[in-house]
Amino acid sequence: MANSLRIAVDAMGGDLGPRTTVSALLDFLNSHRQVHALVFGDQTQVGEQLSLSPYKDPTLLSRIEVRHSDSHVIDSDKPSAVIRHKRDSSMGLALQALAAGEAQAFISAGNTGAIMALGLYFVKALPGISRPAICTTVPTISGRSYVLDLGANPVCSAAQLYEFALLGALTASELESIESPSVRLLNVGEESNKGRDDIQQAAALLEADTEINYCGYIEGNGIFQGGTDVIVCDGFAGNVALKTSEGLATMVGARFREAVGRGWLARLALLLLRGPLLKLKVQLDPALYNGAYFLGLNGVVVKSHGSATQTAFVRALEVATAAAEHNLPDVLSPILKHKLNQPG
Amino acid sequence: MANSLRIAVDAMGGDLGPRTTVSALLDFLNSHRQVHALVFGDQTQVGEQLSLSPYKDPTLLSRIEVRHSDSHVIDSDKPSAVIRHKRDSSMGLALQALAAGEAQAFISAGNTGAIMALGLYFVKALPGISRPAICTTVPTISGRSYVLDLGANPVCSAAQLYEFALLGALTASELESIESPSVRLLNVGEESNKGRDDIQQAAALLEADTEINYCGYIEGNGIFQGGTDVIVCDGFAGNVALKTSEGLATMVGARFREAVGRGWLARLALLLLRGPLLKLKVQLDPALYNGAYFLGLNGVVVKSHGSATQTAFVRALEVATAAAEHNLPDVLSPILKHKLNQPG
């Protein structure tokens, strides 16, 4: 599908830094021969991980260019401080490379607020977009759905929710080849008079736009039901929904292990169920849903979970690459310019 | 623990009306000999269900008094219309009986907004409480937690969140005999500068109250982790969190059944796991968490899920009875009057 493309990697983000990000990058490049990487971070730490490469492919290391940075963003850094003092951190330099066209995608497992701030600073927003939204896909009974915003904007206006709906619909249409993606607003009821004023106003904006396939409200229990391509909410609700789901899965897993115990009958039963359970794991493993887009930036910016495993970081690299192969921002830009009536 | 007490039942609420509520009430009264019931609804429909009673206990039917109502609230009724035109519905009459002291608890599986409106109209709010909150318990890894608000107040001020925290803490303390219940505010991060302004202001109010054991923010993934007795949020976030959890459980269940299939190996394995899976079901069955309090009303008002099964409605009756046995509103009232500086 794609010719050679280059991805800018902030190697220092995430709980284990280069030990996860660089190892995952090697795995990824080994199976994606058309991709090159610009790796930003502490050159000693990055170099150590590169020297541990298990791959014999001689082209692999030649497809990686390491660029040293003296500083990196940490989780407790405030976005405003990062903009003042850490523009040349590994994250900042990687975003500068993206903005300059040296790379077609950016990835980091680091501080979300800092990615947003530096992204807006260097990469800028797409035409007409007031604030980017974090967007990921979630598994449903019948497939997967795009959900945004997941935490970048705890409070949103109706106009912003409308922008998110537009960004989500255009992205699902481009990346999943869905002709007219169905869009719903997350609310506390399905009747039109339910919920907050901002959501009711966003619904009116979406109903008025005949190019968006707006299908009404969806409640929390509908998120995983399938049948909706794009689910739109403010960042507070989105973050609560996704994190609560993670927590529930963890709790049920813990209670399941406790209930099943370690007796031989239980072990035998689990052995018999090994195939189906593995299949289920492959379908629902959070690692497979790692990699969230910052939709609305004028470049492919992808965030990995900070505690992502190597496998999960590989998945986020795939997400970034797919969006870059589709030239997502270039596809979105003229449509947004037209629809949101931006000059220029 | 309790002497005779009387519960006012809106028999017409819920998807199946008296077919669920009256059948469940018979089950409940059969195992709770100290409880009497005032049943409000269509006397023909209620009578039909009573005539199907499987119980031989001669005192059982004598503990039930049916009071006919010509109208009942339906799900699409708006609260404002209910206040104008349906004050003498089964729901309204049952709440009037509670307000008059004829019953010590009220239960309905009907329209939540209508229960809130009629509850405020007839039963009134406790001193200093601006709006009641819906509160239920959820299972956690280590036990259970109280969560409020679950949807009565989609938008809340900091002062309201503080009131909810107080109501939740006092309730957990009284019903669970926890000396100093831990309280957290739901937010999109754990650092003190995270999230919305209203939540940060509520945190300041809670930190200033030395009688509340406020322990900081909690994220969605912490809800089911245990270790927090009371989790406070606005009704929008609470509704999204709980309903998303329900939806995830349904989705995983569907995917699990699909993955496991119907082969004989799978059946054998499930048979071997029958004991532990039943144990898990008993721990996590949503039916066991049915029954939400309207905390902040000057009376025990409990809402059952509209689609509750007979077993689930029995559970909600138990929730209502336990709160009535503790005289919950009478316990809360003087403390709230003192803390929220209400005259009278």
Whole-angstrom Cα distance, residue A253 to residue A250? 5
pLDDT for the residue B3? 64
pLDDT category of residue B270 using cuts at 50, 70 and 90: confident
Contact A224 B250 (CB under 8 A): yes
For residue A241, give the nearest of B241, B268, B272 by CB distance: B241
Whether B149 and B119 map to the same domain: the answer is: no
Is position A282 within any domain?
A: no
Give per-residue burial for A196-207: e unless 16+ CB within 10 Å, then b: bebbbebbebbe
Q: What is the mean pLDDT of residues A330-339?
A: 93
Q: What is the DSSP string of B180-192?
A: S-EEEEE-S-SST
Give per-residue burial for B79-107: e unless 16+ CB within 10 Å, then b: beebeeebbebbbbbbbbbbbeeebbbbb
Is position B282 within any domain?
A: no
Is position B277 within any domain?
A: no
Which tens digits make up the pLDDT trace of A177-189? 999 999 999 999 8
Which tens digits make up the pLDDT trace of B313-324? 999 999 999 999
> Could you tell me if A247 lies within 8 Å of chain B, comparing CB atoms?
yes
Residue B250: count other Cβ atoms within 10 Å of its Cβ: 15
Whether B97 and B137 map to the same domain: the answer is: no
Contacts B236 to A, Cβ<8 Å: 188, 195-196, 237
Is position B191 within any domain?
A: yes
Whole-angstrom Cα distance, residue B219 to residue B224? 10
For residue A239, give the nearest of B154, B188, B243 by CB distance: B188
> Could you tell me if B252 lies within 8 Å of chain A, comparing CB atoms?
yes
Token pair of A244 as six digits: 């609560």
> Could you tell me if B273 lies within 8 Å of chain A, comparing CB atoms?
yes
Contact A283 B245 (CB under 8 A): no
Residues 6-65 of B with CB under 8 A from A: none
CATH number, residue B241: 3.40.718.10
Of the three residues B209, B243, B260, the one that is the final residue of a domain is B260
Q: Residue B229 gets which letter from DSSP?
A: S
* Alpha-carbon dihedral angle through residues B185, B186, B190, B196, given to the nearest 10 degrees: -90
Q: How far is A196 from chain B (nearest CA, A)?
A: 6
> Could you tell me if A221 lies within 8 Å of chain B, comparing CB atoms?
yes
Whether A217 and A185 map to the same domain: the answer is: yes
Q: How far is B194 from chain A (nearest CA, A)?
A: 9
Q: CA of B51: how far to CAs of B19, B61, B317, in Å?
A: 12, 10, 21
Q: CA of B159: how far to CAs of A340, B74, B130, B198, B203, in Å?
A: 38, 32, 9, 9, 10
Contacts A243 to B, Cβ<8 Å: 219-221
Ramachandran area for residue B13 (φ above 0: left; ψ -120 to 50: alpha; else beta): beta
Sign of the Cα torsion B146, B152, B154, B158 reads negative
What letter represents residue A138's amino acid?
Answer: V
Of the three residues B245, B260, B275, the one that is the final residue of a domain is B260
In chain A, % of residues over pLDDT 90 = 78
Token pair of A177 as six digits: 């080849």
Chain B residue nearest residue A241, CA to CA = B241
Whether A300 and A203 map to the same domain: the answer is: no
Is position B273 within any domain?
A: no
Displacement of CA B193 from its chain's centroid (Å) = 32
For residue B221, give the nearest of A220, A244, A272 by CB distance: A244
> Could you tell me if B338 lies within 8 Å of chain A, comparing CB atoms?
no
> Could you tell me if B237 lies within 8 Å of chain A, comparing CB atoms?
yes
Ramachandran area for residue B124 (φ above 0: left; ψ -120 to 50: alpha; else beta): left
Whole-angstrom Cα distance, residue A51 to residue A70? 21
Which tens digits make up the pLDDT trace of B295-344? 999 999 999 999 999 999 999 999 999 999 999 999 999 999 998 876 54
pLDDT for the residue B1? 41
Beta strand spans in A17-149 (E): 35-41, 64-68, 105-108, 133-139, 144-148
Q: CA of B299: how far to CAs of A193, B106, B175, in Å?
A: 29, 8, 15
pLDDT category of residue A2 using cuts at 50, 70 and 90: very low
Contact B246 A76 (CB under 8 A): no
Average pLDDT over chain B reads 92
Contact A220 B236 (CB under 8 A): no
Whole-angstrom Cα distance, residue A235 to residue B189? 12
Contact A187, A217 (CB under 8 A): yes
Whether B235 and B319 map to the same domain: the answer is: no
Contacts B247 to A, Cβ<8 Å: 220-225
pLDDT for the residue B340? 87
Whether A43 and A114 map to the same domain: the answer is: yes
Whether B149 and B102 map to the same domain: the answer is: no
Q: Residue A6 gets which letter from DSSP?
A: E
pLDDT for the residue B267? 82
Q: What is the mean pLDDT of residues A246-264?
A: 82
Whether A103 and A151 map to the same domain: the answer is: no
> Could you tell me if B256 lies within 8 Å of chain A, comparing CB atoms?
yes
Residue B28: count other Cβ atoms within 10 Å of its Cβ: 23
For residue B221, give the nearest of A233, A247, A269 by CB distance: A247
Is position B278 within any domain?
A: no
Query: For residue A36, with 0-12 CB atoms within 10 Å meaning exposed, 13-18 middle and 19 or more buried, which class applies?
Result: middle
Q: How far is B173 from chain A (nearest CA, A)?
A: 24
Domain boundaries, position B234: 131-260
| Mutate: best of A221, A277, A282, partner B, most B CBs <10 A | A221
Is position B169 within any domain?
A: yes
pLDDT for the residue B2? 46
What letter represents residue A311's amino acid?
Answer: T
For residue B268, give the nearest of A78, A155, A272 by CB distance: A272
For residue B225, give the nearest of A235, A251, A279 by CB distance: A251
Which tens digits make up the pLDDT trace of B96-122? 999 999 999 999 999 999 999 999 999
**Residues 6 or more apart in contact with residue B91 via CB below 8 angstroms:** B10, B12, B13, B40, B72, B73, B82, B108, B110, B111, B114, B115, B118
Residue B167 pLDDT > 50, yes or no? yes
> Could you tell me if A222 lies within 8 Å of chain B, comparing CB atoms?
yes
Whether B25 and B96 map to the same domain: the answer is: yes
pLDDT for the residue A267? 82
Whether A141 and A212 map to the same domain: the answer is: yes
Residue B273 pLDDT > 90, yes or no? no
Token pair of A240 as six digits: 């609560």
Instruction: Give me the residue label for tokens 């009037």.
Output: B96
Contacts B250 to A, Cβ<8 Å: 141, 221, 224-225
Contacts A245 to B, Cβ<8 Å: 220, 244-245, 248
pLDDT for the residue B206? 97
Residue A285 pLDDT > 80, yes or no? no
For residue A141, give the nearest of B222, B254, B276 by CB distance: B254
Is position A332 within any domain?
A: no
Residue A101: count other Cβ atoms within 10 Å of its Cβ: 9
Contacts A242 to B, Cβ<8 Å: 220
Q: What's phi and psi for A144, nearest 5 deg?
A: -150, 155
Whole-angstrom Cα distance, residue A226 to residue B254? 12
Q: Could you give the number of structural domains in chain A?
A: 2
Which tens digits make up the pLDDT trace of B55-86? 988 889 999 999 999 999 999 999 999 999 99
Q: CA of B293: how far to CAs of A165, B4, B148, B227, B305, in Å?
A: 36, 21, 9, 22, 12
Q: How far is A308 from chain B (nearest CA, A)?
A: 16
Contacts A140 to B, Cβ<8 Å: 251
Q: CA of B118: how far to CAs of A175, A232, B84, B331, in Å?
A: 50, 33, 10, 23
pLDDT category of residue B194 using cuts at 50, 70 and 90: confident
Contacts A219 to B, Cβ<8 Å: 239, 243
pLDDT for the residue A3? 64
Residue A35 pLDDT > 60, yes or no? yes
pLDDT category of residue A111 using cuts at 50, 70 and 90: very high
ipTM: 0.88
Whether B207 and B139 map to the same domain: the answer is: yes
| Mutate: best of B243, B250, B282, partner A, most A CBs <10 A | B243
| Mutate: best of A134, A200, A224, partner B, most B CBs <10 A | A224
Whole-angstrom Cα distance, residue B110 to residue B114? 8
Sign of the Cα torsion B121, B127, B133, B139 reads negative
B107's enclosing H/E stretch is strand B105-108
> Could you tell me if B186 lies within 8 Å of chain A, comparing CB atoms?
yes
Whether A116 and A142 map to the same domain: the answer is: no
Whole-angstrom Cα distance, residue B225 to residue B136? 16
> Could you tell me if B196 lies within 8 Å of chain A, comparing CB atoms?
yes
> Could you tell me if B249 lies within 8 Å of chain A, comparing CB atoms?
yes
| Mutate: best of A138, A273, A277, A282, partner B, most B CBs <10 A | A273
Query: For residue A306, with 0-12 CB atoms within 10 Å meaning exposed, 13-18 middle and 19 or more buried, which class applies?
Result: middle
Residue A146 pLDDT > 50, yes or no? yes
Token pair of B87 as six digits: 């004050």
Q: How far is B312 from chain A (nearest CA, A)?
A: 19
Residue A192 pLDDT > 90, yes or no? no
Which tens digits make up the pLDDT trace of B9-63? 999 999 999 999 999 999 999 999 999 999 999 999 999 999 999 998 888 999 9
